[in-house]
């Protein structure tokens, strides 16, 4: 990985490049050069290649907990976080828990994410949803934030009390809500060197925001044609 900003450097260690001091909530996403966050099959897997996966794994290794929206979980493609041996050694412990944010708790509780995770998955929901599904989630760690709907600021505050470094992997609805509520500190945006056009697979990076959110470039890296941009959010 080559650093282009702030000071150029020919060989940069991704783990050191993405280390953060103090509490932080990051959003990590990948998109094509023309703005699609899904490949021709409708997933992110084909974007960015191995270079993107290296940073994806690094961000997970650095995180205390990993936030994922319920819609992404329902695809069945999100499994428990796992660590390669070298990243486990650098992290000094087991992988971060996946934290599922769900208003309805309409989830498949038989998924490996809930039954096979080395670090137990956490679910964030409202008190009303928790009470409706109490029998189904008796073996799941639940964080209640809000009465009838999820109180995202309250959830983030409670999570960061135990996991100061949070990483959000999407989907777009959760990432947008975190930005809209002024909860995100940093956007780690990986731009794949491809044009996918405007076919049915095309999905926007974010939903609607109430107003413009200024970004401050913090770092730019390049690896195998993929641009790795780090922006600080000035909300």
In a domain? residue 57: yes
In a domain? residue 188: yes
Please tell me whether residues 151 and 98 are part of one structural domain.
yes
CA–centroid distance for 136 within its chain: 26
**160: helix, coil or strand?**
helix
Please tell me whether residues 130 and 190 are part of one structural domain.
no
Give the residues of the chain that fall short of pLDDT 50: none
Please tell me whether residues 85 and 34 are part of one structural domain.
no
Given 163, 198, 222, the domain boundary residue is 163
Please tell me whether residues 72 and 49 are part of one structural domain.
no
pTM over 0.85: yes
pLDDT of residue 179: 96
- Using CA atoms, how far residue 114 sits from 55, 102, 110, 122, 136, in Å, is 25, 14, 7, 9, 12
Q: Give the domain range for residue 47.
A: 24-64+173-235
DSSP state for residue 119 in the 8-state scheme? S
pLDDT of residue 47: 76
Please tell me whether residues 195 and 156 are part of one structural domain.
no
Which pLDDT tens digit goes with each residue over 78-131?
999 999 999 999 999 999 999 999 999 999 999 999 999 999 999 999 999 999
User: 173 and 203 in contact (C-beta within 8 Å)?
Assistant: no
Please tell me whether residues 84 and 150 are part of one structural domain.
yes
**3-state DSSP percent of the chain in helix, strand and coil, to 5:** 25, 25, 50
pLDDT of residue 10: 93
Instruction: Report the CATH number at residue 104.
Output: 3.40.430.10
CB count in 10 Å sphere of residue 143: 17
In DSSP terms, 227 is beta-bridged to 191, 222
**Domains in the chain, number:** 2
């Amino acid at each position: 990985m080559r650093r282009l900003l702030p000071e150029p450097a020919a060989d940069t260690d991704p783990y050191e490049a993405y280390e953060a001091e103090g509490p932080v909530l990051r959003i990590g996403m990948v998109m094509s050069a023309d703005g699609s966050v899904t490949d021709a099959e409708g997933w992110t897997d084909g974007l960015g290649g191995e270079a993107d996966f290296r940073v994806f794994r690094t961000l997970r290794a650095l995180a205390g907990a990993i936030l994922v929206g319920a819609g992404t979980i329902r695809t069945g493609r999100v499994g428990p976080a796992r660590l390669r041996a070298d990243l486990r050694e650098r992290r000094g412990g087991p992988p971060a828990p996946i934290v599922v944010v769900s208003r309805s708790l309409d989830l498949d509780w038989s998924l490996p994410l809930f039954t096979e995770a080395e670090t137990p998955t956490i679910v964030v929901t409202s008190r009303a949803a928790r009470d409706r599904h109490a029998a189904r989630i008796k073996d799941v760690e639940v964080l209640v934030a809000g009465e009838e709907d999820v109180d995202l600021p309250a959830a983030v505050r409670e999570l960061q009390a135990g996991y100061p470094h949070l990483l959000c992997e999407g989907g777009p609805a959760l990432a947008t809500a975190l930005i809209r509520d002024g909860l995100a500190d940093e956007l780690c945006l990986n731009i794949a060197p491809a044009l996918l056009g405007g076919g049915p697979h095309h999905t926007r990076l974010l939903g609607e925001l109430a107003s413009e959110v200024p970004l401050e470039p913090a770092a730019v890296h390049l690896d195998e044609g993929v641009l790795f941009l780090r922006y600080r959010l000035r909300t």
